[in-house]
Amino acid sequence: GLSYTWTFNNATLALEGDGRRFVSQQTGNLYLAKVEPWDEGTYTCVVTNGDAQQRAWGPPTPLTLRRDGVMGEYEPKIEVHFPETTYAAKGSAVRLECFALGK
C-alpha cells in the first residue's frame, strides 16, 4: 500500500514525540495544532508505494503566519462530508468522518 510523509523546507518532517503534528495514513493529510512561528515554511506531501517502489511529490504548500494576530471572523462550524447514501455489507466496517474548526 501507500504511505504518506511530509517534507518541511525540503527536509523530511520528523514527527516522533511531537504531540502537535500528525500525518493521517488514511488520507495523507498533515494536521498541525497550535501553530508556532517556527512552523512557517514550505510543506510538501510525499506518497510512497512500497509495492511498486515508487514515490511521488505533491506541490509545495507554503505556510505563512499572520503577523497582525488577526484570524478573521470565523464562526465555529462543523463540516460533515457524507454521501447522500452510504451502503455497507453486513458485518463490514464503515467510517464516517467529521471535521470541526472554530475560534
Give me the amino acid identity at 34. Answer: K
Give the model's pLDDT for residue 67: 74
CA distance 7 to 21: 13
Q: What are the residue ranges of helices labelled H in 57-96?
A: none
Domain 2-101 has CATH 3.30.450.20: no
Domain boundaries, the chain: 2-101
pTM equals: 0.64
**Digitized pLDDT (tens) for each residue of the chain, 103 residues in all:** 888 999 999 999 888 777 888 888 888 888 888 888 889 999 999 999 878 788 898 889 898 887 776 666 555 555 555 567 777 888 887 776 655 555 4
Look at the block and give the residue holding cell 488520507: 27
Sort 96 into a burial class: Cβ within 10 Å, 0-12 / 13-18 / 19+.
exposed
